[in-house]
Chains A and B, each alone.
Chain A
Amino acid sequence: MLEIKNLHARIGEKEILRGVNLVVPDGEIHAIMGPNGAGKSTLSYVLSGRDGYEVTAGEAIYNGQNVLAMEPEDRAAAGIFLAFQYPVELPGVGNANFLRTALNAVRRKRGEDELDAVAFLKLARAAAKMLQMKEDFLKRNVNVGFSGGEKKRNEMLQMALLQPGLAILDETDSGLDIDALKIVAEGVNALRSPTFSALVVTHYQRLLDHIVPDVVHVLAGGRIVRSGTKELALELEAHGYAGLEAA
């Protein structure tokens, strides 16, 4: 379970998060919606430990651990996974090598045995097949020359292999056509279980047609200003975010 209490964070002098309160119980999928500049990406980065964000107050507890005190790699090992809005290119680094290095780093920290090349490839091929990715995906360099859709699928492939307990999807749907969107959704839905939860950050409601959330929150002006069922997303789609910030 993820519990965020009164979280304040800033970049430089600018306060972006101004008291976020949020509870995501295991097994649930929560959507975070909100206008541009509301702090959606900041929330994602603060939870995954990116440099440059200063937490000035509040806390985030995941499965009893104080997330904000941990290094990003330890958060990954604890089961937190961030799917990037803009996945990063790593020239010369083979996708399979990257995935295996990451997986084994996480497995080591979780006290599990490392996978050898054969066992890893079997796993990776199965995951790639589920996400309808061509096998040469594994041979290409990480995200280099990938289309927008391919990059997002690659994020889903990493997620499928790392088996997180909490996935944070940071506008994973941006720039995706409908087919790619469905595949991303299938990637998340395939992980659904009583021990898996997700925070789906999105600007648009269309992703939520495919990943049906248990709760929808509206983040505006650095705070959660409304929470509701999936119908809230439809309402926002119809009426926009105007007026919410004052709430």
Chain B
Amino acid sequence: MSAMTETETETTVHEMAAQKYKYGFTTDIAMEAFPKGLNEDIVRLISAKKSEPAWMLDWRLKAFAMWRKMEEPHWARIHHPPIDYDDLYYYAAPSAPAPKSLDEVDPSLLDMYEKLGIPLNERAALAGVAVDAVFDSVSVATTFRETLSKAGVIFCPISEAVREHPELVREYLGSVVPMADNYFAALNSAVFSDGSFVYIPKGVRCPMELSTYFRINAKNTGQFERTLIIAAEGASVSYLEGCTAPMRDENQLHAAVVELVALDEAKIKYSTVQNWYPGDADGKGGIYNFVTKRGACRGRNSKISWTQVETGSAITWKYPSCILQGDGSVGEFYSVAVTNNFQQADTGTKMIHLGKNTTSTIISKGISAGHSNNTYRGLVKIMPGASGARNFTQCDSLLIGDQCGAHTVPYIESRNMSAKVEHEATTSKIAEDQLFYCRSRGLSQEDAVGLIVNGFCKDVLKELPMEFAVEAQKLLSVSLEGSVG
């Protein structure tokens, strides 16, 4: 092969590698951004931009003061160069005034969401799914608001909820994840710019799936969204979030906080398909996904169920958790985390049993390929009052290739003799004989890997709403393309 064609081949290979992340485009739109760096003035600017009441600004400033005294946590099995928090933009938004209805949304934004497969046009939208779209620091569109408000459901950008429903926001914001809970939560509390707010009133079953679509577009910009979901007595809701970002060579920070509150007999199902840009095959670029997600089962017999499919991000640091306070409350965590190339994931959950007869289930499936590292970290804590508490944990790791790592770090603390805690863990490799078996039946190598991986994740994927399950299956196969052979 001549030198010329070698270069050509190399280019083609690079192009192919780049194509694998199909959400990597950028949208060209006039943007407004505050100066780089973080100080009290920036916090005040964000608050002023959102026309926030004084109590909200005070809350942010308090969080900011706490954050300045805190240190970045380093206990997770992740490694990254130091983050320069003064080299980031903390607010970026399309410069046109906030749209009042879908007709006013910038057509290039609508185009972008179309490209991502998220039609915001209500007539075209999948029947039964209402969407809130968050672009960099602001919510650009929320669909089906009228239908939802007839049922009494509030589904709006959180910046709007701060102004329109202050009594609810003041009561619940920071009540599950306190502002100084951890370094990234404190940062988020100071500078969060938008996110979704959901309130399902007493006895209401939300008539459709709610979904938020997060998109980081601007360069050097952190995204700090904040989501708050409250299900009142006997209410129920299923909520989905999806995330993508353009391909950029530098790392970008995403530090979100999600709080869920379930009152008596309420049910919240929260599903995530996280596909932030993972960086290239050499580990360059990608999102740092440092997220705090926690749900409080405050009422008796309430239930919170987390399902996550994590395929993106250069680094994932995230532990969606449940505080099982109400007697008979139920917490669930179903997770698939895939790492390939140089991705790092340290993810898991915390189940804190406070109430009597509380139960929790943890099913975690970690898949590592390439040079990646994938850690499950979980805590099951049974407090003295949690008589009859039960937990079942299953952690399975699947290795593809011999350069990657899988780690399981379960913590179990039981302070009640009547509690039952079970933990099962397995680590396996995709065996050569499994691949050969599939191929001898006509499947290509990649289809065989996809089939085996999807089989491995089945217990989790079946928890996803139907249309997302199909998407997630495809995503798993795409994320692992080229990982074998």
Residues of A within 8 A of B438 (CB): 90, 98, 102
Q: How far is the CA of A93 from the CA of B450 in the complex (A)?
A: 10
Q: Are B459 and A71 in contact (CB under 8 A)?
A: no
| B441: Cβ under 8 A from any A Cβ | yes
Interface size on B, residues (CB 8 A): 23
| B235: Cβ under 8 A from any A Cβ | no
Q: Are A105 and B447 in contact (CB under 8 A)?
A: yes
Q: Are B442 and A98 in contact (CB under 8 A)?
A: no
Q: How far is the CA of A162 from the CA of B457 in the complex (A)?
A: 27
Residues of A within 8 A of B440 (CB): 48-50, 72-73, 75-76, 81-82
Residues of B within 8 A of A109 (CB): 442
Q: Are A92 and B441 in contact (CB under 8 A)?
A: no
Residues of A within 8 A of B432 (CB): 51-52
Most A C-beta atoms less than 10 A away, residue of B439, B443, B452:
B439
Q: How far is the CA of A164 from the CA of B389 in the complex (A)?
A: 55
Q: How far is the CA of A12 from the CA of B137 in the complex (A)?
A: 59
Q: Are A158 and B441 in contact (CB under 8 A)?
A: yes
Q: How far is the CA of A109 from the CA of B441 in the complex (A)?
A: 12
Q: How far is the CA of A109 from the CA of B436 in the complex (A)?
A: 18
A86-134 residues at the B interface, CB under 8 angstroms:
87-93, 97-98, 101-103, 105-106, 109
Q: What is the minimal beta-carbon distance from B466 to any residue of chain A, in angstroms? A: 15
Q: How far is the CA of A52 from the CA of B432 in the complex (A)?
A: 10
Q: Are A73 and B437 in contact (CB under 8 A)?
A: no
A44-89 residues at the B interface, CB under 8 angstroms:
48-52, 71-73, 75-77, 81-82, 84, 87-89
| B455: Cβ under 8 A from any A Cβ | yes
**Once A and B bind, how many residue pairs between them come within 8 Å at the CB atom?**
78
Instruction: Name the CB-closest residue of A to B444.
Output: A73
Cβ-defined partner of B441 (8 Å) among A71, A89, A162: A162
| B456: Cβ under 8 A from any A Cβ | yes
Q: Are B452 and A93 in contact (CB under 8 A)?
A: yes
Residues of A within 8 A of B445 (CB): 73
Q: What is the minimal beta-carbon distance from B156 to any residue of chain A, in angstroms? A: 40
Instruction: Name the CB-closest residue of A to B456.
Output: A92
Q: Are A90 and B451 in contact (CB under 8 A)?
A: yes
| A205: Cβ under 8 A from any B Cβ | no
With A50-B436, A87-B437, A90-B434: A73-B442 Cβ-Cβ less than 8 Å? yes
Q: Are A84 and B437 in contact (CB under 8 A)?
A: yes
| A21: Cβ under 8 A from any B Cβ | no
B419-473 residues at the A interface, CB under 8 angstroms:
431-434, 436-445, 447, 451-452, 454-459
Q: What is the minimal beta-carbon distance from A97 to any residue of chain B, in angstroms? A: 8
Instruction: Name the CB-closest residue of B to A50.
Output: B436
Q: Are A92 and B459 in contact (CB under 8 A)?
A: yes
Q: How far is the CA of A217 from the CA of B432 in the complex (A)?
A: 30
Instruction: Name the CB-closest residue of A to B436.
Output: A50
Residues of B within 8 A of A52 (CB): 432
Residues of B within 8 A of A87 (CB): 437
Q: How far is the CA of A239 from the CA of B443 in the complex (A)?
A: 43
Cβ-defined partner of B436 (8 Å) among A72, A81, A97: A72
Instruction: Name the CB-closest residue of A to B441.
Output: A102
Instruction: Name the CB-closest residue of B to A76.
Output: B442
| A141: Cβ under 8 A from any B Cβ | yes
Cβ-defined partner of B434 (8 Å) among A72, A75, A77, A88: A88
Q: Are B452 and A90 in contact (CB under 8 A)?
A: yes
Q: What is the minimal beta-carbon distance from B476 to any residue of chain A, in angstroms? A: 12
Q: How far is the CA of A75 from the CA of B452 in the complex (A)?
A: 21
Residues of B within 8 A of A76 (CB): 439-442
Q: How far is the CA of A81 from the CA of B441 in the complex (A)?
A: 7
Instruction: Name the CB-closest residue of B to A102.
Output: B441
Residues of B within 8 A of A49 (CB): 436, 439-440
Most A C-beta atoms less than 10 A away, residue of B441, B447, B457:
B441
Q: Are A73 and B456 in contact (CB under 8 A)?
A: no
Q: How far is the CA of A130 from the CA of B327 in the complex (A)?
A: 54
Q: Are A72 and B439 in contact (CB under 8 A)?
A: yes
Cβ-defined partner of A106 (8 Å) among B442, B455, B457: B442
Q: How far is the CA of A20 from the CA of B441 in the complex (A)?
A: 25
Q: How far is the CA of A244 from the CA of B310 in the complex (A)?
A: 60
Q: Nearest 10 CB-CB pairs, A to B? A: A92-B455, A93-B455, A106-B442, A76-B442, A102-B441, A88-B437, A72-B439, A92-B458, A105-B442, A73-B439
- List 24 contacting pairs A-B, 8 Å CB cutoff, sorted by A: A49-B436, A49-B440, A50-B440, A72-B440, A73-B442, A76-B442, A81-B440, A84-B437, A88-B431, A90-B434, A90-B452, A92-B454, A92-B456, A92-B457, A92-B458, A92-B459, A93-B451, A98-B451, A101-B447, A101-B451, A102-B442, A105-B444, A141-B455, A158-B441
Interface positions of A (Cβ within 8 A of B): 48-52, 71-73, 75-77, 81-82, 84, 87-93, 97-98, 101-103, 105-106, 109, 141, 158, 162
Given A88-B434, A93-B454: 17 more A-B contacts, CB < 8 Å = A52-B432, A71-B439, A72-B439, A73-B443, A76-B440, A76-B442, A88-B433, A88-B437, A92-B454, A92-B458, A93-B451, A98-B438, A102-B438, A105-B444, A106-B441, A106-B442, A109-B442
